[in-house]
Amino acid sequence: MDAFLLPALICLAAAVIAVPLAARLGLGSVLGYLAAGIAIGPALGLVGAEVEDIRHVAEFGVVLMLFLIGLELEPKVLWRMRTRLVGLGGLQVTLTTLAIMAAAIPALGLGWEQALAVGLVFALSSTAIVLQTLSEKGLMPTNGGRASFSVLLAQDIAVIPMLVALPLLVAAPKARIAPDGSVVRPALEAAQPPHGAEHLSLVAGLPGWGVALVTLGAVAVVILAGHYLIRPVFRFVSMAHLREMYTALALLLVIGIAVLMGMVGLSPALGTFLAGVVLADSEFRHDLEGNIEPFKGLLLGLFFITVGAGIDFQVLLADPLGIFALALGVMVIKGLVLAALGRLFRLKGRDRWLFTLGLAQAGEFGFVILGLAVQQDVLSERLTQTLLLVIALTMLMTPLFFFVYEMVSRRLSVAGIGPDHAPDEIDERNPILIAGIGRFGQVVQRMLQMSGFRATMLDDDLATINLMRKFGIKGFFGNPTRPETLMAAGLGTAQVFVVALDDPAATTRVVIFARRVRPDLTIIARARDRAHAYELYRAGADKIVRELFDSSLRVARYSLEAMGLSTTEARERESAYYDFDRRMVRELADLWKPGVPAERNEGYLRRARELNGELDTALLSRTAHRRATDPAPRPSPEETPPDSSIAPADAPEDFADRA
């Protein structure tokens, strides 16, 4: 037990230290786990061969990951994405595999089987790094971001046949003559398990047709059980009213399918992925995800740590230039394939650059495939160590490639080259201009329309624009952060400018520009949080609306009513808190310092504590004043539904001004 617990303790401690640091630096958790493994293994020598015991346990994280991927892929969603999945994603995997295979045969002196395995390893990209980076930089809604996501999804699905096909690439050894003169067939010899290593199998000794029938039967059992058995089992377990029973059932499901697949000679990952797809549209999908996600994340993290700990840096020191050249060569080959596919599928400008540079690295699934390739004797241990280093280096260079994309994107913007869809010609001028028509901007537009006012709506999300047009709501496609687009939309003549963008930094830039060119304009801006409200206050916004402030107040009001307060009393407290918070924000805005965390701003902290102490007094004095001036209770307006977004009837006239 100690031989397992001590290395596990060291691995977990290294992860707790390295992963938050990597996330803080924007490198992603996968690189953090790899760095932790490198630190405790090759660098400090804290773990050695005993880390293999942890790897055997951690490899089950791959099975859990593929089950969760299956849960995310509803059959109808896969069908809608079939063109990009099969076309763009399938071509990327196939062409990249063949290109790297063709380069590996002469460069590494490999046979076609080993070269194909290498091609499969490097055909995949890092889902974790790319998706995290696209989300952080707000690039997911772009055409390049959506194309990248489609390819990553296709790669995740392609891992399944890769894991199944990899053992088939083992070169069959030749027959030999034994000392007694008999002919020994190594393939048959290898098929016999050593003494004491027998395992339960449902296909051992069966003819080929029998193996096929049993295998198909096992797959059918998984599908039928997912459709007809899981629901009653979940209902039975729910009778215990114990949360841990749901976790136990989720693990039982995954482990049971993995064991069944192993008994019929299939990959456990294949079976669990299939089960995930079957359960993707069930009502228990989110319960399964919530119960399995922590185990998947931890086991995968340990798996990457063991990969990092097992890297032989003597290989890197022996030929650093050669390994760096291999890493760059892989990224160049993948980049050329991606660029060609981007042109074929009509990605232009910045979208094609994002698609090409964002997916040029190798991915975390490459570690999984390499581990299986070594176990199956497809690749040698020495070559595997080299390939592990190449994968890690390409992943480490990914932030640099995104930096190159940002430089290219800025130059294309200066040159006037935009996305692959030209901005619309704005043919109308209205007194109200709205930048951003997501969920926030749509509510604003609908209320204005209901009141008889017309607004010009701008957004750079073409899918949202087209969806709005199907419902008869006209919007214009264009980048609302670019000055020329705003001026073309009528910023110079508008009376009201509503900035409802998702990106806080872009919102601030737009407010600064609008205030500079139109000092007389009424600017109403959406704020992410209190700190962002301070920025917008200094940028010149007239009215600032925090995203969740109104809804939070209404939840608090409903809670007070549920506790026995009358509707009038609850509204009084809501209105009192609103007035106090608005005054508090305006006072603290003068003390707020850009770039300085609030907890390090002594003047801000001192005044915030003083104002918090005044909250109860302000509430009592407001209530007493209301009762003295209007002692008769006012009935609540029954025509206002509980979930209405209309402001309380007794709110001040500028109720929407909630900074």
Mean pLDDT score, 588-616: 75
Instruction: Report pLDDT for 74.
Output: 66
| CA distance from start to end of the chain | 57
User: Distance (Å, rounded) from C-alpha 58 to C-alpha 70?
Assistant: 20
Percent of the chain topping pLDDT 90: 9
299, pLDDT greater than 50: yes
Give the chain's mean pLDDT: 77
Mean pLDDT score, 511-524: 91
Instruction: Report pLDDT for 524.
Output: 93
**pLDDT higher at 375 or 571:** 571
Instruction: Report pLDDT for 341.
Output: 92
3-state SS, 46-115, equals CCCCCHHHHHHHHCHHHHHHHHHHHHCCCHHHHHHCHHHHHHHHHHHHHHHHHHHHHHHHHHHCCCHHHH
14, pLDDT greater than 80: yes
Mean pLDDT score, 95-114: 90
Lowest mean pLDDT among 289-303, 365-379, 606-620: 606-620
Q: Quote the radius of gyration of the chain (alpha carbons, Å).
A: 31
User: Distance (Å, rounded) from C-alpha 284 to C-alpha 286?
Assistant: 6
651, pLDDT greater than 50: no
Lowest mean pLDDT among 204-218, 310-324, 487-501: 204-218
518 — phi, psi (to 5°)? -135, 80
Q: What's the predicted TM-score (pTM) here?
A: 0.53
Q: Pairing state of beta strands 176-177 and 543-546?
A: unpaired
User: Distance (Å, rounded) from C-alpha 289 to C-alpha 287?
Assistant: 5
Instruction: Report pLDDT for 177.
Output: 57
Mean pLDDT score, 462-486: 79
Contact call for residues 219 and 273 (beta carbons, < 8 A): no
- Residue of 344, 318, 277, 281 lying closest to 95 (CA atoms): 344
User: Distance (Å, rounded) from C-alpha 299 to C-alpha 8?
Assistant: 11
Mean pLDDT score, 129-141: 70
What band does 94 get if pLDDT is binned at 50, 70 and 90? very high
182, pLDDT greater than 60: no
**pLDDT higher at 116 or 636:** 116
What band does 658 get if pLDDT is binned at 50, 70 and 90? very low
Instruction: Report pLDDT for 304.
Output: 76
**pLDDT higher at 426 or 46:** 46
Lowest mean pLDDT among 73-82, 239-248, 296-305: 73-82
102, pLDDT greater than 90: yes
Mean pLDDT score, 590-600: 74
- Residue of 329, 282, 366 lying closest to 34 (CA atoms): 366
pLDDT digits (tens, 9 = 90+) for 604-633: 778 877 777 676 666 656 555 555 555 544
Instruction: Report pLDDT for 496.
Output: 93
2, pLDDT greater than 70: no
Beta bridge partners of 458: 435, 476
Mean pLDDT score, 8-28: 82
Four-residue CA torsion sign, 573, 574, 579, 584: positive
**pLDDT higher at 492 or 423:** 492
